[in-house]
Every structure is written in C-alpha cells, then in structure tokens.
A and B are shown apart, each in its own frame.
Chain A
Amino acid sequence: MNSHIYAVLHDVESMIVKTWRKRLSFRIACVLIAVVIVLAILGPHIAPYPRQGMGIDIDRSRALKPPSLEHILGTDSLGRDVLSRILFALNRAIISCIVVIAVSLILGIFIGSYAAIGSKIFEILISYFTELLLALPSVLLASLLSILMGGGYWSILIALIMTWFPWYSRIAYLQARSLRDLDFVKLPIYYGLSRWYVIQKHIAPNIVAPMLIEALSDTGSVVLEISTITFLFGIGVKSIEEPDLGMMIAYSLRDITVAPWTFLAPSATLALIAISFTLFSEMIYEEYHPVLKKRWWLWF
C-alpha cells in the first residue's frame, strides 16, 4: 500500500513539476495557493486582533472604520478588525473544504469502483442513486439537515459531501469499468478474493491519480459553494459571532453602500482562492492535453 501511495504521489508531482516549468500562470496560481494555505494554518496565530477575529471582542464605537494602518482592511459594523476575521475564517474554510473533498473522494472511489465490479443489480441501483443525489440542490439539503440535526455547520458539510461524492463515484465508476475486464482485476475475483481487497489493491491505486487532480480542481468550487451556502444561511441571521467568509459577506451586505471594504475584502479573498485553484488544475489539464498544448491558428 505504501508503495502505491508513493507511486501516485510521484505521478502527481511529476505533472506539477512539468507544468511549473512551462506556464507562468501556473506558477502564480501555485504561489497563491501556497500563501492561502500558509495563511489558513497560521491565520489564528498571526491575526493582529485574535479576540476580534473570533468575534468575542465587540465595540460599536469603532464600527465601520475605513482601512488604515491600525486596521489594514478596516472594521465591520460591530467594530471588529476585518483582516483578523478573514484570517480566522480562512482557517475554517480551508479545513472544511479539505474535509468535504477528502471524504467525498474516498466515498466516491469506493462506491464507484464497487459498482463497477459488484453485481449487476448493485451497479444499476448505485447509478440511479447517484443520479438522484445529483438532482438534490445542496443549499436546500443543507437547510433540511440543519433543521433535523440542529447543528448548522456540520449539516452544511454533510450536505456538500452528499452532493459532491456522486460526481466522484461516477468518475470512479467509469474508470473502474474500463479496468474491470483486465486480467489483474478479473483473475483475483475469479479466484475468490474479496472485492474490497481487489478494490484496495488493484483498482484504487490505478484510478486515484487522475481523480486527485480532479479533486484539486474542484477545491475552489467547494470553497465557493460552502461560502455561498453560509451566505444564504447568514442572510436571515441577526447577529453572528463565528468567523466564516459566507456569513461575513452576508452580514456586511447591508453596509455595502457605506462601507464597501467590509464586503469586498472577504469576497475578494474567496475569488482569489477559487481562481487560483481553477488555474492550477486547468493548466495541468492543458499541459497534458494532446491538442490544447499546441498552438493553432487559421492556417488554411
């Protein structure tokens, strides 16, 4: 298993290195992603006003201050430093995004490949179930779950996992189906090894590298989707403590005409994350695409 993991990481690494050498926008995207991740990890420790960042320290007397040396990105309507809030929120956004992606990837790979090599009935059931889940809108699912479970944030994550893993299971299914007639998958099943074992040993290692790239490319969308949902959740909420990009944006919406920075700073952060992740994956895709990597013009 270790050697498999090593091989997969090696594949991904060589893709990244090759693209890095060729494309400037890929380098920029990589640097931005690295900065975002470092900030997300260090955020709570380097935030200038950690108590305001957490949302505890509220002081209306310094509300809606424009950007200055003291508060680089200004303050929001409850007098909290926007930069500190963003740093705290970034931490949370990245962690929840990683949780969503990782869980849906693992679920997707296993369910998808099991559908490909399992029995026919199971295959059909899974394909219908996947399509059904894909039809459910994630916000509404999240709000249903939040009413049922009482917890706000976890229900959002679960709803996202429920709507994202069908994608991965569909991709994994298609890839595993192309493998299932090959000897190294067929023979072990024929000799009676368990299907889970075959998936772990023979299928997953072979499909994980392209799916990892796929997942990386979705990271930006997941961050966006989480904050879009929290934005919609936050619209109705009267007062918020928790640092979350979507909630911050929802809450600052009413001050947009008087204090645009409270709105623009978190939105721009989100845009930056989403754009750099998209560029990251698309550049790799282009570099390995037999047609796109070449120049072309109307030569005839």
Chain B
Amino acid sequence: MTPIAQVWEWLDAVPDPEIPVISVTDLGIVRDVDWEDGTLIVTVTPTYSGCPATSVIAMDIETALRDHGVDRIAIRQQLAPPWTTDWLKPAARDKLKTYGIAPPQPAGGPESCPHCGSANVERISQFGSTPCKAQWRCRDCLEPFDYFKCI
C-alpha cells in the first residue's frame, strides 16, 4: 500500500478544472486520505453545493490515482464542516493573484487590483464566471477582474 504522504503529493498535482493554476489540495477540498481494507478512500467536500466542477474533480482525482497504479479507490463526499475559503493554502492565494484573480479577504472585497495593484476598486456584480467568484473593476487601470469570494 502506498504511503498516505505519497498520495497527498500526487493530489498536490491534480489541478482544479476551472482554475488550473491551483490544485485540489491548494483549494482545501480534500479533507482526508486513508486506506480502508485495501481501498484508498479520498474524502472530498464541495466548494458550492451546485458547483459543476465537483463531479469533474472527483473524476480527475480518480484518474490521477489510477495513473499512479492505485486500482481500488473510493471518493467519498463530506458536507460538514462546510468548505470555507479559510482552507485555501497560503501559496494558493499568491497563485490566484498571479493568474489575475484577487484572493478572498475577510473584509468581503479584494484588497487590490490583481493587474496594477491599485486599491481603488469597485464591485460590478456579486457573481462571476464560476460560483466561487464575483466581478470587480479597477478604477485606475479600468480593467475588470475576478474576485474569489470569501465564504
């Protein structure tokens, strides 16, 4: 049986299907990995309950683990405690910013424009291109950008 630490390393390389610069472990949605009677159990929690990426993520995790030679895999879904953006790894916040997505802030809005760094920003819409994002705009460089909502 593969050591659990090795499995976590493999999962670190499975990208989020909608924001491929961060991995499923960066996102904090893999809650547990364990062997049970020769089957590898991966426990995953959804970001938003209706997020269409959830089933793709389960499939991508399974595919990656099979490619590494694990053939008995079960993906379990866990709802509670509910996912929160507090579970994003610190490194993931920097990767989001470099990718052009402002990382979540407890204050409820982005700290600065991910393009030019200006703090002079305004909200366009509470929702965006995926359930986890909202649309904002920079008043200085005038570029629109995605903000990763804080929940």
> Are these two chains actual partners, yes or no?
no
A contacts, CB < 8 Å to B: none
